[in-house]
Structure formats: C-alpha cells, structure tokens
C-alpha cells in the first residue's frame, strides 16, 4: 500500500520512529530505530511495508528497498513474524544470515530471538537459493557509525536506550546481562552499543 514515506524524523525510540509528513505522524517500526537518531528534524525516505492482520495493522520501515525485500522474504517463512524478521535484520550481519541459509548452518540461525531449530530448518528450506539476488546490491553497512558523533554526550543514556532496543527485539534479560559489563566499558552512541551487543550475542 505504501512504497515509502518521505518526511521529517520527529521521534526515535527503542521500538519505532515517527516520520511527519504533511501534518501526519507515521509510527514506523524499524530494525534499529537509532540509525535515525542522527537525522532528527531532517527529511528522510523510509521504505515501508504495510502489515495487516485481523488483530493488528502496522507499518515497518527500512533504509533501502533491498532491506525491505529481505524482510518480506523472511515473513514468508513459517514461524517468523514481523518482530522476528526485524531482529534478524537488526543484527547487522545479514551477509552471515544469507551464508548460514546457503550452508544450512542451523547453529547460527537459532541464535536469533524466537528462532528455534524448527524455524531455522524452515528458513533453510524456504530461502536457500532465493537470497543471492539481494546480496550483491545490498549490505552497505546497516549500522553507519559515521552518522553519529563519536563523542557521545551521555553514554549512560545511550547505553540504557540500547538495552531497551535489545529487549524490544526479543533478547532476554539473561542474555543482555551477560554482555552488559563488557559494553559498559566503552563510550558509544546508542546505535554503536546496539551493533556491538548484537555482534556479541551472535557469537
């Protein structure tokens, strides 16, 4: 229904962003909302997927059409809903996801929230051989650290926001606590905290 929405970034939170266009604020869930934190008040283009079910209607947004296309392919896998697909995209390791599918590496795929062995096998069955068209054109760095100032003014606040975002993606308190001490040693932006956290959670 909506190919994309172009407008001002009015709000960035752990689960979604708000894009204002012609006086209307669109609530859009994204893989990592804090990618847009450095663009507050600026005009951006967000490629959207309108998700409609009997009990829910929501907008999901992405920086590129390729990312949106991968999201839709993940939704076609039995056992993966929008939240699970967002968590996979948020990892920033999409190339590894494609490689894992092609190599039938279930042990890597089950590291994502909500992906058990049955779902991992289904991902391989449904997607193997169908993702190569995305890889060559996609995966510029999903987490572009240059977007943000390297001098984080409030590291503690950024860390707390990152933890909320990880919880929104489906990671448990136990998983987050395991990596928190190492993360706290560094002074990073929210987006950079999320990137490092996801890299460690997927090891």
Look at residue 51 and tell me whether its pLDDT is greater than 70.
yes
Rounded CA gap, 120 and 122, in Å?
Answer: 5
Tell me, what's the pLDDT at 135? 58
Tally of structural domains, the chain: 3
Tell me, what's the pLDDT at 144? 39
Same domain, residue pair 27 and 72 = no
What is the pLDDT confidence band of residue 53, given thresholds at 50, 70 and 90? confident
The predicted-structure confidence for 10-40, as pLDDT tens digits, reads as follows 999 999 999 999 999 999 999 989 999 999 9
The predicted-structure confidence for 95-151, as pLDDT tens digits, reads as follows 778 888 988 999 999 988 889 999 999 999 999 988 866 655 443 443 333 433 344
The predicted-structure confidence for 68-89, as pLDDT tens digits, reads as follows 888 999 999 999 999 999 999 8
Same domain, residue pair 183 and 165 = yes
- Establish if 193 belongs to a structural domain: yes
7 membership: H or E segment, kind and range:
strand 4-12
What is the pLDDT confidence band of residue 153, given thresholds at 50, 70 and 90? very low
SS (H, E, C) 134-192: CCCCCCCCCCCHHHCCCCCCCHHHHHHHHHHHHHHHCCCHHHHHHHHHHHHCCCCCHHH
- Establish if 152 belongs to a structural domain: yes
Same domain, residue pair 10 and 55 = yes
Q: What is the mean pLDDT of the chain?
A: 85
Same domain, residue pair 116 and 81 = yes
Tell me, what's the pLDDT at 138? 41
- Establish if 28 belongs to a structural domain: yes
């Amino acid at each position: 229904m909506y190919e994309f929405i172009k407008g001002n970034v009015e709000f960035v939170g752990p689960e979604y962003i708000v894009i204002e266009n012609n006086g209307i604020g669109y609530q859009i869930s994204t893989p990592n909302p804090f990618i847009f934190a450095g663009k507050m008040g600026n005009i951006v283009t967000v490629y959207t997927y309108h998700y409609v079910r009997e009990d829910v209607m929501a907008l999901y947004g992405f920086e590129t059409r390729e990312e949106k296309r991968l999201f839709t392919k993940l939704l076609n896998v039995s056992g993966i809903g929008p939240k699970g697909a967002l968590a996979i995209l948020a990892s920033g390791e999409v190339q590894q996801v494609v490689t894992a599918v092609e190599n039938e590496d279930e042990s890597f795929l089950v590291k994502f929230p909500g992906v058990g062995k049955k779902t991992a096998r289904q991902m391989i069955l449904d997607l193997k051989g169908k993702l190569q068209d995305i890889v060559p054109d996609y995966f510029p760095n999903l987490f572009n650290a240059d977007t943000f100032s390297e001098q984080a003014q409030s590291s503690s606040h950024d860390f707390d926001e990152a933890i909320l975002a990880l919880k929104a993606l489906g990671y448990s308190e136990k998983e987050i606590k395991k990596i928190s001490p190492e993360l706290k040693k560094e002074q990073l932006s929210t987006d950079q905290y999320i990137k490092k956290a996801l890299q460690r959670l997927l090891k």
